[in-house]
């Protein structure tokens, strides 16, 4: 008998394509197996409940999470969708807000030492997820197979340059195991995109629109088998229209293979209507992107909010900080963008991006990348320190512990700023320049906290005298007003 604790991944030898795990209560969870070189097959499993679990190979005794467990995914469980499908919750119902970074090229460019430095920075700032292309997707990209050399990258599939996913490089994924575990140890969820359908890494003909849908689906199942017993989000469509046949094939395969019901969705290119497969059972969320020129267009998020049936919404790719030229979307631009998108209906969460970081540019002079997307004079390490990431991370810290489950945009209880109503009647308001907030509904709680979203400091607390009294603020600086 082995000993483990809830939500911690264990790896076991396996035969066949599936292994069924049975809890003493009768709950059954079925996990896909995966090949790990030669004749070796393995299965990875994380028990969602304490107690005795059995499988054809033996027994597993699982303890509850320690009371001082710091990692929220071991303390509260993996993410899943909220009861009304608008936001994230942990398995035990604890509310969650996605605060994601875009380090797309990390899987094939970064080393464990670099990922530890990156993850520590992002965790300290408040990030809890990162968008990743799981393999280098460009069919015509060339360079040394060395993560430490200029223009170098590791290879997930030997036949990807020919538009196929049959010759899997096991060593690549064994290396990726370590990188993703470092992220998870820091409370950062890998958002796994199989093979990109949009620009890719260097714009050199992505394979995501070319590979046969059945091969794409098989790879999605492999990702669930290899990485689905730890926190994950599955981004089966990446930077495309959503109508690519690979997207639907991948989404259906993830749903069939994932017993934990972790979120699955689509991330769209900017110039597209983001509602493909809106009624699909496997689809949990839709993520737009608003381009790369530093304009605030939360209307895209608000438009997606109105689509039916209901799916969670976010802006998955606002403008990258310093993309193309110094000053684009820099600093507080990122904070204003995050709060604006959240209040417009992007209640699944917010996403940040930095030029040179998403490509994982090795250093400030590394050649071979599109100048349109690079941050001038920066490699990945310099880009980590761009100011805007601090403000996006603070959004998650400010909302942590609040009843954010299934919040909704609110245009009726106040006319000042952008606002959200919580499911139990609370009100959260964001104003770019602060100032008093007039309230026009007797149900808004009288107690308030006013926060500066640039540093997370509480600038005022109190209780309004009457339901018609304004929320007081002198104005002149960004403010978040919380009435719960």
Tokens found for residue 428: 């959260």
Average pLDDT over residues 39-43: 94
Residue 35 bridge partners (DSSP): 41
Distance between CA atoms of 430 and 403, rounded to whole angstroms?
16
Nearest by Cα to 246 from 306, 197, 303? 197
Q: Is the pLDDT of residue 249 over 90?
A: yes
Average pLDDT over residues 35-62: 95
Tokens found for residue 236: 């089966």
Nearest by Cα to 161 from 142, 185, 180? 142
Q: Can you give the pLDDT at residue 240?
A: 97
Other CB atoms within a 10 A radius of the CB of residue 459 amount to 15
Count of H helices and E strands in the chain? 10, 25
Nearest by Cα to 268 from 222, 220, 300? 300
Distance between CA atoms of 192 and 234, rounded to whole angstroms?
5
Average pLDDT over residues 253-262: 98
CA-based max dimension of the chain: 73
Confidence of residue 416 (pLDDT cuts 50, 70, 90): confident
Nearest by Cα to 196 from 107, 284, 134? 134
Nearest by Cα to 368 from 144, 111, 106? 144
Nearest by Cα to 127 from 186, 66, 209, 71? 186
In the block, residue with structure tokens 């990122």:
334
Average pLDDT over residues 306-325: 97
CA atoms lying within 13 Å on the CB side of residue 362: 15
Average pLDDT over residues 367-392: 97
Percentage of residues in the chain having pLDDT higher than 90: 97
Tell me the per-residue pLDDT of 159-194, one tens digit each, with 9 for 90 and over.
999 999 999 999 999 999 999 999 999 999 999 999
Q: Is the pLDDT of residue 1 over 90?
A: no
Confidence of residue 3 (pLDDT cuts 50, 70, 90): confident
Q: Can you give the pLDDT at residue 321?
A: 98
Cis peptide before 9 (omega within 30 of 0): no
| Eight-class DSSP state of 214 | H
Average pLDDT over residues 258-283: 97
CA angle 394, 239, 395 (to 5 degrees): 10
Q: Can you give the pLDDT at residue 204?
A: 98
Confidence of residue 2 (pLDDT cuts 50, 70, 90): confident
Confidence of residue 4 (pLDDT cuts 50, 70, 90): confident
Q: Is the pLDDT of residue 298 over 80?
A: yes
Other CB atoms within a 10 A radius of the CB of residue 306 amount to 11
Distance between CA atoms of 308 and 88, rounded to whole angstroms?
18
Distance between CA atoms of 87 and 82, rounded to whole angstroms?
5
Report CA torsion sign: 243, 246, 247, 253. positive
To the question of pTM greater than 0.95 for the whole model, the response is yes
Mean model confidence pLDDT for the chain: 97
Percentage of residues in the chain having pLDDT higher than 70: 100
Tell me the per-residue pLDDT of 437-478, one tens digit each, with 9 for 90 and over.
999 999 999 999 999 999 999 999 999 999 999 999 999 999
In the block, residue with structure tokens 């260097």:
202
Cα–Cα separations (whole angstroms), residue 137 to 165, 188, 209, 260, 337: 11, 23, 10, 27, 29
């Amino acid at each position: 008998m082995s000993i483990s604790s809830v939500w911690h991944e264990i790896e076991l030898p396996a035969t066949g394509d599936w292994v069924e795990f049975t809890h003493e209560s009768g709950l059954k969870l079925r996990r896909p197996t995966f090949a790990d070189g030669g004749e070796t097959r393995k299965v990875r499993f994380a028990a969602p409940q304490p107690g005795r679990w059995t499988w054809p190979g033996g027994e597993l005794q699982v303890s509850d999470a320690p009371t001082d467990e710091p990692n929220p995914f071991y303390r509260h469980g993996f993410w899943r969708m909220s009861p009304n499908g608008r936001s994230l919750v942990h398995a035990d119902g604890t509310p969650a807000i996605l605060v994601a970074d875009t380090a797309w090229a990390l899987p094939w460019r970064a080393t464990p030492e670099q990922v530890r430095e990156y993850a520590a920075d992002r965790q300290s700032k408040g990030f809890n997820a990162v968008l990743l292309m799981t393999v280098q997707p460009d069919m015509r990209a060339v360079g040394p197979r060395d993560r430490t050399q200029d223009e170098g990258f590791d290879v997930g599939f030997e036949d990807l340059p020919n538009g196929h996913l049959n010759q899997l490089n096991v060593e690549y994924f064994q290396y990726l195991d370590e990188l993703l575990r470092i992220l998870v140890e820091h409370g950062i969820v890998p958002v796994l995109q199989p093979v990109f359908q949009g620009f890719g890494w260097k714009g050199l003909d992505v394979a995501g629109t070319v590979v046969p849908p059945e091969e794409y689906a098989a790879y999605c199942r492999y990702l669930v088998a290899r990485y689905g017993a730890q926190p994950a989000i599955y981004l089966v469509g990446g930077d495309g229209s959503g109508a690519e046949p690979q997207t639907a094939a991948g989404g259906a395969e993830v749903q069939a293979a994932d017993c934990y019901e972790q979120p699955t969705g689509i991330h769209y290119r900017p110039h597209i209507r983001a509602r493909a497969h809106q009624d699909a059972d496997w689809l949990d969320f839709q993520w737009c992107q608003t381009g790369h020129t530093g304009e605030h267009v939360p209307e895209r998020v608000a438009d997606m909010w109105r689509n039916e049936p209901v799916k969670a919404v976010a802006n998955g790719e606002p403008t990258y900080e310093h993309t193309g030229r110094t000053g684009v979307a820099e600093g507080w631009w990122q904070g204003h963008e995050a709060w604006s998108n959240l209040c417009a209906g992007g209640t699944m969460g917010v996403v940040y991006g930095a030029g040179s970081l998403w490509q994982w540019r090795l250093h400030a002079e590394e050649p071979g990348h599109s100048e349109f997307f690079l941050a001038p004079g920066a490699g990945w390490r310099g880009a980590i320190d761009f100011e805007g990431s601090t403000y996006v991370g603070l959004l998650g810290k400010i909302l942590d512990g609040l009843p954010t489950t299934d919040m909704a945009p609110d245009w009726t209880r106040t006319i000042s700023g952008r606002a959200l109503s919580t499911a139990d009647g609370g009100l959260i308001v964001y104003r770019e320049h602060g100032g008093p907030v007039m309230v026009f509904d007797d149900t808004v709680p009288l107690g308030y906290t006013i926060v500066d979203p640039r540093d997370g400091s509480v600038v005022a607390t109190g209780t309004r005298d009457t339901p018609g009294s304004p929320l007081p603020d002198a104005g002149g600086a960004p403010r978040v007003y919380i009435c719960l």
